[in-house]
């Protein structure tokens, strides 16, 4: 009678373990509970990096926003690295390093300037055929800024993908890296506690 109970208990325990094993996710070799949360978090952070890149690319100058007009000069002042010109009642700014400051300061109130603007920024300023702000210089400066932003976000995305790849490898081989797994996963998320 005792042997039958022992045999039934072993069979029952085996079936319970197999049920638990079969319900475990196959992702990460079943070492992690709720692997979808990790994948969702990784994808969310990567989507944030890509979204930031798209935002920064649309933030700068865009040729469809260019407006060419003849505006009346009303004054100017410096603000940090920019120079702000008041033209026909509106304020427009440009990088002071790209402008011919001597030519701008020589302007008198009421003089007419041929300008190209985009989103309240000056792209080009001409006065009587003299270029006070070159369109090429402005566009090159904008392209350089976008290139640096793309490079920085590209490096960030690459570093994130390396982190994800290392995380996946360590999670799939949790028994081989018992100390390293603690850096990537809380012990409560592990299906088997790591060895010390």
Domains of the chain: 63-134 (2.40.50.140)
pLDDT of residue 177: 86
- Region 162-176: what's the mean pLDDT? 90
pLDDT of residue 24: 53
pLDDT of residue 32: 81
How many residues appear in the chain? 196
Asked which of 14-23, 24-33, 116-125, 169-178 is least confident by mean pLDDT, the reply is 14-23
Residue 155 pLDDT greater than 80, yes or no: yes
Reported as a pLDDT band with limits 50, 70 and 90, residue 158 is very high
Pairing of the two strands 121-127 and 112-118: antiparallel
pLDDT of residue 51: 94
Tokens of 80: 């940090």
As a whole-number percent, the residues of the chain with pLDDT over 90 amount to: 40
Query: How many Å apart are CA 142 and CA 140, to the nearest integer?
Result: 5
- Region 183-193: what's the mean pLDDT? 80
- Across the chain, what does the average pLDDT equal? 85
**Residue that the structure tokens 């509106």 belong to:** 90
Residues 74-125: tens digit of each pLDDT? 998 888 889 999 999 899 999 888 998 888 888 888 999 999 998 888 999 9
**Residue that the structure tokens 């990460």 belong to:** 28
Residues 35-65: tens digit of each pLDDT? 888 899 999 999 999 999 999 888 878 888 8
Tokens of 6: 């022992």
Residue 193 pLDDT greater than 70, yes or no: no
Pairing of the two strands 90-95 and 82-87: antiparallel
């Amino acid at each position: 009678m005792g042997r039958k109970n022992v045999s039934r208990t072993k069979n029952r325990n085996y079936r319970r373990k197999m049920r638990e094993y079969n319900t475990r996710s196959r992702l990460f070799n079943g070492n992690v509970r709720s692997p979808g949360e990790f994948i969702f978090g990784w994808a969310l952070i990567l989507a944030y990096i890509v979204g930031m890149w798209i935002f920064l690319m649309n933030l700068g100058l865009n040729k469809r926003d260019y407006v060419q007009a003849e505006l009346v000069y009303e004054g100017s002042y410096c603000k940090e690295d920019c120079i702000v010109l008041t033209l026909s009642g509106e304020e427009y700014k440009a990088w002071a390093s790209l402008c011919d400051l001597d030519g701008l300061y020589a302007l008198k109130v009421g003089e007419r300037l041929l300008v190209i603007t985009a989103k309240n920024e000056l792209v080009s300023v001409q006065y009587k055929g003299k270029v006070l702000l070159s369109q090429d210089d402005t566009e090159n400066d904008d392209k350089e800024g976008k290139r640096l932003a793309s490079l920085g976000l590209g490096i960030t995305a690459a570093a994130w993908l390396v982190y994800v790849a290392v995380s996946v490898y360590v999670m799939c081989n949790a028994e081989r890296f018992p100390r390293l797994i603690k850096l990537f996963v809380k012990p409560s998320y592990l299906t088997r506690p790591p060895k010390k």
